[in-house]
Chain A
Amino acid sequence: DSGVTQTPKHLITATGQRVTLRCSPRSGDLSVYWYQQSLDQGLQFLIQYYNGEERAKGNILERFSAQQFPDLHSELNLSSLELGDSALYFCASSVAPGQSNEKLFFGSGTQLSVL
């Protein structure tokens, strides 16, 4: 158990809908990362927050947004969903804001299926 909690584990929805994925980092970790994993693209970095502020952005679509709350949990909002958004979404956390030798701890993911 990595200590990172993601909910829900599975989500089935329809095209055009909006969903929210939730992540609770390990106790004491201030940094949260979101990744998307699909069969053809592998693990893709989406966005990172540190102590409530956005720190880095990857290949995140404009239809997607995220935030980190004062209690340090994070939410990833996906809107106007398309079939291609079906993927595993992972959250990871770490203590430090991106030092070269830091370790990331990943949750078990949310499997999103868009029908």
Chain B
Amino acid sequence: DAKTTQPNSMESNEEEPVHLPCNHSTISGTDYIHWYRQLPSQGPEYVIHGLTSNVNNRMASLAIAEDRKSSTLILHRATLRDAAVYYCILRDVGSGGSNYKLTFGKGTLLTVNP
């Protein structure tokens, strides 16, 4: 999987929007951009994914740059429950469809202040 770069940590205040950036300058045309998050003492949880267009779901929005070399996960109103490590992952099945795994980096630790 192609590499992504995320800030180690970010801080936000409760009920304010949060923009979590991710750089992926070596992204290929068939890479999907996935976001997962891991709350304390829990397994990772799917948040959102996209290919080219911006995406919205009940948890978050994903804004993808026109050149696809960066993306931003947007939490519209952060809550204390959103405090977690957020992982930005590129995924492509690769040649012959043999690359099945999700490769997690170190992610961004989001702290939400009350």
Contacts and interface: CB of A to CB of B under 8 A. Distances in A.
A58 B1 CA distance: 13
Task: Kindly state the interface size class of chain B when it binds its partner.
Answer: 20 to 34
Given A100-B31, A100-B92, A106 B100 contact: no
B56 to A, nearest CB: 16
Interface stretch (A11-19, A62-70, A71-79, A91-99): A91-99
Contact of A98 (B49, B100, B103, B106): B100
Interface of B: 30-32, 36, 42-46, 49, 51, 87, 91-93, 97-106
A42 B101 contact: no
B43 A42 contact: no
**Nearest 6 Cβ contacts at the A-B interface:** A98-B100, A106-B43, A43-B104, A45-B101, A56-B100, A100-B32
Contacts of A107: 43
Contact of B99 (A35, A56, A106): A56
B97 A98 contact: yes
Pick from A98, A100, A101, A108 the residue with the most CB of B within 10 Å.
Answer: A100
Given A42-B104, A42-B105, A98 B46 contact: no
A4 B104 CA distance: 19
Contacts of B46: 103-105
A104 B91 CA distance: 12
